[in-house]
Amino acid sequence: MKNQKITTYQMAVTAVMAAVLCVLGPLTVPIGAIPISLANFVICLTAWLLGPKFGTLSVAIYLAIGLIGVPVFSGYGAGLAKVAGPTGGDAVRPVGTVYLGAARGDTVYVKKLFVSRPDRALIRARAAQTAQRHREERKESNYLQGQRRKQQRQAKQRTRMRIGKAAWKRIAVMAGIVIAVVLSMVIFFRVQDVKVYGNSKYSAQQVADACGVAKGDNLLTMSRGEVAGNVLAALPYVNTVQVTRQLPDTLVITVTEYETTFAMTDESGVYYLVTAGGKVAEKVNEKDARQHVVIQGATLQSPQVGQAASIGDGLTETVRTVMTELDAAELTEQITSVTVGSASKITAYYEDRFEVHLGSSERLAYKLEFLKTVIAQQKDYATGSIDLTLSDGDQAHVRLDS
């Protein structure tokens, strides 16, 4: 629809400008020996308003109207003789100026011919001469351009030949370096020793066996991430692993281990130790489990040693937060057990003396530090309960047994 409206507008303006030409074309302004026709002004205005396509169409309509006999030409003339007569005009208004134009690529040639009398033969002769001259100029220009391109190609070929010799030398040197590096990686830098630091629960040999690197393996091509992953997967008590190469033949493994573990049961009542980071460390009996902080009220779901612990009733994150914060507060020696009834009901037991109600795990680190302060204010023999749910502000409520 939009293109149709635009076309209708252009056609309407084209018709209007053709009509204006028909009205003003016959009129002239008598200035000097050669009157000025208003048709020239209207044609320029038409070209400006309509552009080359529709401007030409408007003038063509004007000429067609004049050719069929309507007196719209200068001096109210009409007919074919007015346009293409023997003189191409008349004695007063001869063909005065002719433009000859040609274009090739980005180059445009324009030639202006002046004629002092209405002589079409002279115009044709000059046009032919001009065309021939431009033809010869283009021919000469093409020849010169071809010569320049030929010289440029020859210069590039000579340059490539010169560059080629130097490039081959550089390639040979680089190839030698690459071959030397590859040979050194393949032949030299073989693992002869594995050193382990930071271990306490595991022996150095256990860590070395778990890393998956054998004597004689290439030290440079092995993946340090894969070595660290092997240690973490095989040794549950390992918290972090750092692997470094000590040239020419030593692999260095530095580990940190979990110092604190918590005891939990699975659905069958079997006890497992779980690290503060939430990894199932090993299966133990009840007697050994009582040597650790026991997490009650939450059970492990299908525990696998070396894997992350999954806890039922959606309490995985809550239990992990409890274990992490107790370890950070250094209260694992004083807290004997923790009951996680739900995410908002956590109860800890302090040295069999105090039952500590912590509420949810929100602000748990602050609550545990607050607990240290409250305990320090009590007598060594005091027992009872401590409310640290902070339900009525940052206040602790202590109820001592009588």
Report the range of poorest mean pLDDT among 104-118, 193-207, 212-226, 318-332: 104-118
- Give CA–CA dist 252/227, Å, rounded: 11
- Give CA–CA dist 73/85, Å, rounded: 14
Report the range of poorest mean pLDDT among 140-154, 172-186, 260-274: 172-186
Q: What is the pLDDT of residue 86?
A: 45
> What torsion, rounded to 10 degrees, do the Cα atoms 320, 321, 325, 328 define?
50
User: Minimal CA–CA distance to 293: which of 240, 342, 337?
Assistant: 337
| pLDDT tens sequence across 65-114 | 888 878 887 777 777 666 654 444 544 445 455 555 555 555 656 565 55
DSSP E strands in 269-344: the ranges are: 271-275, 280-284, 293-296, 335-342
Q: How many CB atoms sit inside 10 A of residue 380's CB?
A: 5
Q: What is the pLDDT of residue 323?
A: 92
User: Minimal CA–CA distance to 242: which of 230, 225, 257?
Assistant: 225
- Give CA–CA dist 389/356, Å, rounded: 9
| pLDDT band, residue 384 (cuts 50/70/90) | very high
Mean local confidence (pLDDT), 40-48? 83
Would the pLDDT of 192 be above 80?
yes
| Sole residue written with tokens 């130790």 | 273
| pLDDT band, residue 365 (cuts 50/70/90) | very high
| pLDDT band, residue 1 (cuts 50/70/90) | very low
Q: What is the pLDDT of residue 112?
A: 59
Strands 280-284 and 250-257: unpaired
Q: What is the pLDDT of residue 222?
A: 83
pTM assigned to the model = 0.51
- Give CA–CA dist 101/70, Å, rounded: 32
- Give CA–CA dist 212/227, Å, rounded: 7
For residue 385, the SS3 value is strand
| pLDDT band, residue 278 (cuts 50/70/90) | confident
| Residue type for position 234 | A
- Give CA–CA dist 353/334, Å, rounded: 10
| Helix (H) / strand (E) containing 393 | none
| Sole residue written with tokens 């021939």 | 132
- Distance of alpha carbon 117 from its chain centroid, rounded? 73
Cβ atoms of 79 and 67 within 8 Å: the answer is: yes
Q: What is the pLDDT of residue 92?
A: 46
In the Cβ-directed half-sphere of 361, how many Cα atoms lie within 13 Å?
Answer: 18
Would the pLDDT of 327 be above 60?
yes
φ and ψ of 299, to 5 deg: -120, 150
Q: What is the pLDDT of residue 355?
A: 92
Cβ atoms of 112 and 96 within 8 Å: the answer is: no
